[in-house]
């Protein structure tokens, strides 16, 4: 059970934060289809930062400082990368879907080009295993390895990554920013009716830039979180479709943070079951229920996607899309 909750958290947190990245952009009126690309770029840069710090002689005892720096660095690189989309979509009024697709193609191409140059293979790893370098265990708190006495502490503070909580922290901060502050309200108004917003003195260009850059920051961090936890701190020019899945979570969660959090936990659970079903022992009696059912592993793997489709079919009527999303802002238009 502990294992299942922790694994679900690993799968859910990147989805959650990247889905919120989608919300930031879409609420300001820009469809950010390039989330996958930004994630790939952020994942690569995060791994590069860690490698640089390792090469500079930082050792295992500075593991937590390293991941924090890498996480923020990946976020900032995500911002820089997302500026490509912002420039084409906001200044040149280009088609946002195509711009996002270009980001999705550009990121793996550039990343793989440099990975092959650096590592002479298709994936770039850090020195050593991510788990032993960057995981928090009970040793960090009590000085005693091997877990806590309280089961709740075991679930949340033994063998977990600090970045998971940082991502949750940023998720909450950005949600509050979007929904409880003046600038957040202005940003959202640009996604609904930019002309009306402009008539009230709001600079739509600035707000849309802010939306896309926030989106890049969150997606870059999400990408690093993915590569750190799920792919064991390896960057290989892909994030297994997580950016797209996050888009689906965003639509499914109706563009609101709380719904997104719930949906991503649900999806994380399904993703997690697909990954670990063979060794999943819920009540600890040595019976691997899901494995014994004899269903093909690929059935579990396509489950999250099929469920997304079905859920979208049922919830589409009540979904509330930001009205001006995807439409380039034209000052002269009324």
Partner 1 sequence: MIKKDKNAIAPWEKTKWYYTDTAKSIFSALISIVIGLFVGAIIVIIVGLMSPTIGTKDMWDGFKLVLFGVFSTGRVGGTLTFGFNPVNIGNMLFRAMPLILTGLSVAVAFKTGLFNIGAPGQFLMGTMGTLSVGLWLGWAGCPKGLAWLAAFVVGVLLGALWGCIPGAFKAYLNINEVITCIMTNWIAASLVTWWFDSHNEFKNSAEGGKVAYIIPLKNVGVTTPKLGFGVLCPGSQANGGFWIAIIIAVGMWIIMSKTTFGYELKACGANKAAAKYAGINGKRNQILSMAIAGALAASGASLYYLSGNTEFYWSTYMSLPAVGFNGIPVALLASNNPIGVIFAGIFMSMLNISGLQLKNLTMYNEYISDVIIAVIVYLSAFSLFFRQFLGKRKKNDKEIKNANAEAFEEYVEEKAAAAGNAEKEIAEGGNE
Q: Considering CB under 8 A, how many residues would be counted as binding partner 1?
A: 42
Q: Which of residues 26-85 bind partner 1 (CB under 8 A)?
A: 33, 84
Q: Taking a C-beta distance cutoff of 8 angstroms, is the pair 191, 204 a contact?
A: no
Task: Decide if residue 313 touches partner 1 (CB under 8 A).
Answer: yes
Q: Does 293 bind partner 1 (CB under 8 A)?
A: no
Question: Within 10 A of 89 (CB to CB), how many other CB atoms are there?
Answer: 28
Tell whether residue 316 is a contact of partner 1 (CB under 8 A). Answer: yes
The residue among 129 and 312 lying less far from partner 1, judged by its C-beta, is 312
CA distances from 308 to 13, 101, 131 (A): 18, 21, 31
The yes or no reply on residue 251 touching partner 1 (CB under 8 A) is yes
Least distance (Å) between residue 291 CB and partner 1: 16
CB 196, min distance to partner 1, A: 22
- The nearest distance, CB 133 to partner 1, in angstroms, is 25
Place of tokens 């001006």: 324
Least distance from partner 1 to the Cβ atom of residue 32, Å = 12
Helices 63-86 and 204-229 sit at what angle, rounded to 10 degrees? Answer: 140
Does 134 participate in binding partner 1 (rule CB under 8 A)? no
How many angstroms separate the Cα of 53 from the Cα of each of 63, 65, 180? 10, 10, 38
Residue from 134, 244, 267, 277 in contact with partner 1 (CB under 8 A):
244
Of 225 and 308, which CB lies nearer to partner 1 in the complex structure?
308
DSSP code of residue 91 = I
The two beta strands, 160-161 and 135-136, are antiparallel
| Touching partner 1, residues 157-196 (CB under 8 A) | none
**236 contacts 92 by C-beta, under 8 angstroms:** no
| Candidate ranges 62-70, 255-263, 286-294, 311-319; the one touching partner 1 (CB under 8 A) | 311-319
Report how far apart, in Å, the C-alpha atoms of 26 and of each of 58, 133, 288, 291, 326 are.
Answer: 40, 37, 42, 40, 8
Residue 241 phi/psi, 5-degree rounding, is 75, 15
Q: Does 309 bind partner 1 (CB under 8 A)?
A: yes
Q: Of 7-15, 98-106, 140-148, 278-286, which segment contacts partner 1 by CB under 8 A?
A: 98-106
Binding residue for partner 1 (CB under 8 A) from 3, 5, 83, 101? 101
Considering only residues 105 to 124 of the shown chain, the ones binding partner 1 according to CB under 8 A are 105-106, 108-110, 112-113, 116-117
Burial of 82 (0-12, 13-18, 19+ CB in 10 A): buried
Contact assessment for residue 53 and residue 243, using Cβ atoms and an 8 Å cutoff: no
**Which residue among 90, 190, 207, 247 contacts partner 1 (CB under 8 A)?**
247
For helices 162-180 and 204-229, angle between their N-to-C axes, nearest 10 degrees: 160
Residues found near partner 1 in the complex (CB under 8 A): 33, 84, 88, 92-95, 97-99, 101-103, 105-106, 108-110, 112-113, 116-117, 238, 240-241, 244, 247-248, 251, 296, 298-299, 301-302, 305-306, 308-309, 312-313, 316-317
């Amino acid at each position: 059970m502990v294992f299942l909750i922790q694994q679900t958290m690993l799968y859910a947190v990147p989805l959650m934060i990247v889905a919120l990245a989608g919300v930031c952009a879409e609420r300001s009126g820009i469809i950010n289809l390039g989330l996958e690309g930004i994630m790939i770029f952020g994942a690569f840069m995060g791994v590069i930062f860690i490698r640089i710090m390792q090469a500079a002689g930082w050792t295992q005892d500075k593991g937590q400082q390293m991941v924090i720096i890498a996480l923020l660095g990946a976020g900032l690189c995500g911002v820089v990368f997302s500026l490509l989309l912002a420039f084409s979509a906001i200044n040149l009024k280009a088609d946002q879907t195509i711009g996002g697709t270009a980001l999705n193609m550009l990121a793996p191409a550039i990343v793989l080009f440099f990975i092959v140059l650096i590592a002479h293979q298709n994936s770039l790893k850090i020195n050593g295993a991510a788990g032993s370098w960057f995981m928090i265990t009970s040793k960090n708190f009590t000085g005693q390895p091997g877990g806590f006495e309280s089961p709740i502490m075991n679930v949340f503070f033994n063998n977990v990554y600090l970045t998971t909580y940082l991502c949750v922290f940023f998720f909450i901060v950005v949600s509050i920013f979007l929904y409880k502050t003046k600038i957040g309200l202005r940003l959202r108004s640009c996604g609904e009716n930019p002309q009306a917003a402009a008539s009230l003195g709001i600079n739509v260009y600035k707000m849309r830039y802010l939306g896309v850059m926030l989106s890049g920051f969150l997606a870059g961090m999400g990408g690093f979180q993915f590569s750190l936890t799920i792919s064991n701190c390896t960057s290989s020019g892909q994030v297994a479709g997580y950016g797209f899945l996050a888009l689906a979570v965003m639509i499914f969660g109706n563009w609101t943070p709380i719904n997104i959090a719930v949906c991503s936990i649900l999806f994380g659970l399904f993703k997690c079951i697909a990954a670990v079903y063979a060794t999943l022992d819920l009540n600890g009696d040595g019976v691997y229920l899901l494995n014994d059912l004899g269903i093909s592993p690929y059935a579990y793997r396509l489950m999250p996607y099929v469920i997304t489709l079905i859920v979208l079919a049922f919830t589409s009527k009540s979904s509330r899309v930001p009205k001006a999303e995807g439409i380039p802002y034209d000052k002269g238009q009324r």
